[in-house]
Amino acid sequence: MPSSKITNTKTKSTVTLPESPSEGDRQSLKAVKAGSGDQHINLIDWEEKARAVLPTMAYDYYASGATDEITLKRNRQVYSEILLRPKMLCDVSYRDLSVKLLGQTIAMPILVAPTAFQGLAHKDAELATARAARSVNTIMTVSTLANSSLEEVAAEAPQHLWFQLYVYKDREITKELVGRAAAAGYKALVVTVDSPILGKRERDLRNGFHLPAHLSAKNLSGQGLDEIGSSEKNSGLAAYIASLYDTALTWEMLDWIMSIARLPVLVKGILRGEDAKEAMSRGAAGVIVSNHGGRQIDTTVSTIEVLPEIVAAMEGRGEILIDGGIRRGTDVLKALALGAKAVLVGRPILWALATGGEAGVKECLTILRQELDLTMALSGCATLAEITPDLLKLPLHMK
Please name the helix (run of DSSP H) or strand (run of DSSP E) that holds residue 288, with its range, or none: strand 286-289
For residue 143, the tally of other CB atoms under 10 A from its CB is 25
**120 contact partners, CB below 8 Å, separation of at least 6:** 54, 55, 58, 61, 62, 147, 211, 212, 215
Quick check: is 160 catalytic?
no
Calpha distance 13→126 (Å, rounded): 32
Contact yes or no for 135/158 (Cβ under 8 A): no
> Residues with Cβ < 8 Å from 88, sequence gap 6 or more?
380
Residue 202: which of 73, 61, 52, 325 has the closest Cα?
61
Q: Is-contact 110 322, C-beta < 8 A? A: no
Q: Is 190 helix (H, G, I), strand (E, B) or coil?
A: strand
Catalytic residue from among 160, 210, 292, 397? 292
| CA contacts within 13 A on the Cβ side of 21 | 17
Q: Which residues are known to be catalytic?
A: 292
